[in-house]
Amino acid sequence: MFNKIILIGNLTRDPEVRYTPGGTPVATVSIAVNSKYKQGDDLKEEVLFIDAVVFGKQAESCGQYLSKGRTVLVEGRLRERRWEYEGQKKSKMEVIANSVKFLSKKETQTAEAGAGDAVPPEETTDLEPF
């Protein structure tokens, strides 16, 4: 079987970084992916909201350098997460990221950069801890 997904979109909120009991960094990023399609003579736009889970050093890099509105390319695999809440079964699709590439900032964030500002890495990759 083959399970691979590549998404380019904008973050809908700042990354949430937490740590496992073993000390492994884990970041969750939420991405809005826009698609345009034609329906008759009309041009329609569809937005897909999806979460991605990032592990290890790249999780820390995401937490340090990314913020709401930033454009990213995420490559990984899809996973369905299932749980039960108040007697109802719930499920959600999310991406387990193998790599995250930081793309250009949104125009509204291209403010002046000071000489002492840290420059984010162009791409980070890390394997899952399991």
- Residue 76: how many other CB atoms lie within 10 Å: 21
CB 13 within 8 A of CB 68: yes
pLDDT at 115: 37
Domain CATH for 49: 2.40.50.140
How many C-beta atoms lie closer than 10 Å to residue 7's C-beta?
17
**Which pLDDT belongs to residue 77?**
96
| pLDDT score for 40 | 87
Whether 27 maps to a domain, the answer reads yes
105 versus 2: which is more confidently predicted?
Answer: 2
User: How would you label 36-59 residue by residue, b for 16+ Cβ within 10 Å and e otherwise?
Assistant: eeeeeeeeeeeeeebebbbbbebb
- Structural domain that includes position 78: 5-106
Q: What is the pTM of this model?
A: 0.73
Q: Establish if 78 belongs to a structural domain.
A: yes
Q: Name the residue among 49, 44, 47 with its Cα closest to residue 34.
A: 47
Which helix (H) or strand (E) segment holds residue 58: the answer is helix 57-65
More confident: 38 or 53: 53
119 is a domain residue:
no
Q: Is residue 124 part of a domain?
A: no
Containing 65, the helix (H) or strand (E) segment is helix 57-65
Q: How many domains does the chain have?
A: 1
The predicted-structure confidence for 80-119, as pLDDT tens digits, reads as follows 999 999 999 999 999 999 999 999 764 434 433 443 455 5
Which range (40-49, 83-92, 118-127) has the least confidence?
118-127
Give residue-wise pLDDT tens across range 78-88.
999 999 999 99
Do the domain assignments include residue 112? no
**Interatomic CA distance for residues 98 and 4, integer angstroms:** 10
